[in-house]
Every structure is written in structure tokens, then in C-alpha cells.
Amino acid sequence: CYQAYNFAKIRVDEASANKNSKPLAIITDVDETFLDNSPYAVTQTQKGNEFDLKTWNEWTSKGEALAFPGSLDFFNYAAKKGITIFYITNRNEQDKPGTLKNLQKLGFPFADDKHVVVMNTTSDKETRRQAVLKDYNVVLYLGDNLTDFSQLFYKKSQAERNAKTDELAKEFGSKFIVLPNSGYGDWEGALPGFNNK
């Protein structure tokens, strides 16, 4: 996490040093990109349960997730450089009040209704990203899943995802900053015999 956010700071410095026709922005995912939900996962495991929306909403409504190391410092650093942060998450409207409470309690910048963009009808974030791109030059995307960066990865086979990753290799560490998520994600489909049910 420190490595990812330290590298992101370098990219922010580079972007803010250049002339831009639009204001600068960062688009970031929330869960397991900078908010740590492992206490929820551990509690469910201890009870012999898996993820479910009811207990997930109970967790998000508490607003108790902690920030991953380096994340709060990075986002506040970017904000001080005049960069707007958009939190594009696949949490839903029911999760939004707790999410706002959590971000505000931790001191994340732009933790308001306009900048925390939740899922409405689809987990594909492309429409929400495009809405930001109309008014901003997005200098960085941060996430724990390839679909946090581009629609090119959305609902694609492992082979297609691998091929697109190879094509976009120069974007990783440049425009795309990936955070590790060892708990869950589309990477699970690459496991031999994986069954999402």
C-alpha cells in the first residue's frame, strides 16, 4: 500500500506541473483500494458465513472501516495540489450514508454527496467515469480490480483480461495504480476449478 500511494504521489506531482485545459481529478475505487473491510470478512468467516447484502449494509452503516496505510495522506496531498477526488464505488444507495460518515470521520477530502458516486443499475463503472471525464482531466485511476480502470475488462474472460492487460502495460504505474486485494475479486476466476457459487 505504501508503495502504491508513494508512486501515486509522484504521478500527482508530474500531472500538477503540466498545463491542463480542464481541472485535474483522480477516480478511485473505495473497498479494498483504501478502505479495509477485512473486519467484516473475518467476522463473517468466524460465524461460518459468507458475504451477504444484509450484513454488508450493517457493516457499512457503522462507518468503521479503517484506511489502508498511505491512503489518507495521499488523497489529502492530491487535494492540496488542487486535484479533485471522485470515489466511484459499487456500494449502493443504502450504503452511501455510512460510506460518507466513514470517509468524513477518517478525514478524506471531497467526502460529500457529489464526489461519492455509488452504483445505481450496473456494476460497470464506465458511465460514472465518463460523467467525470466531461469536466475533468483524470490523471489517475486507483483500484483493486481491473474494472476500476476501464470497461475493456468488464465481464471478460481471463484470456481477454490478460490480453488487454498486456496491451495496456504502460498504463500500470502511470495512469493505473493497483492495490492488492487478497480477499476477493475477478482474479478468483483464474483459480483452477473456481465456482463463484
As a whole number of angstroms, the distance between CA 87 and CA 27 comes to 6
As a whole number of angstroms, the distance between CA 50 and CA 12 comes to 38
With a pLDDT cut of 70, the percent of the chain lying above it is: 95
Q: What is the pTM of this model?
A: 0.91
As a whole number of angstroms, the distance between CA 92 and CA 31 comes to 12
pLDDT tens track for 65-121 = 999 999 999 999 999 999 999 999 999 999 999 999 999 999 999 999 999 999 999
As a whole number of angstroms, the distance between CA 70 and CA 6 comes to 8
Please check the confidence at residue 11 and state whether its pLDDT lies above 80. yes
As a whole number of angstroms, the distance between CA 129 and CA 124 comes to 10
**pLDDT at res. 185:** 66
Cβ-based burial of 28 (10 A; exposed 0-12, middle 13-18, buried ≥19): buried
pLDDT tens track for 114-128 = 999 999 999 999 999
Please check the confidence at residue 195 and state whether its pLDDT lies above 90. no
**Backbone phi, then psi, for 54, in 5-degree steps?**
-65, -50
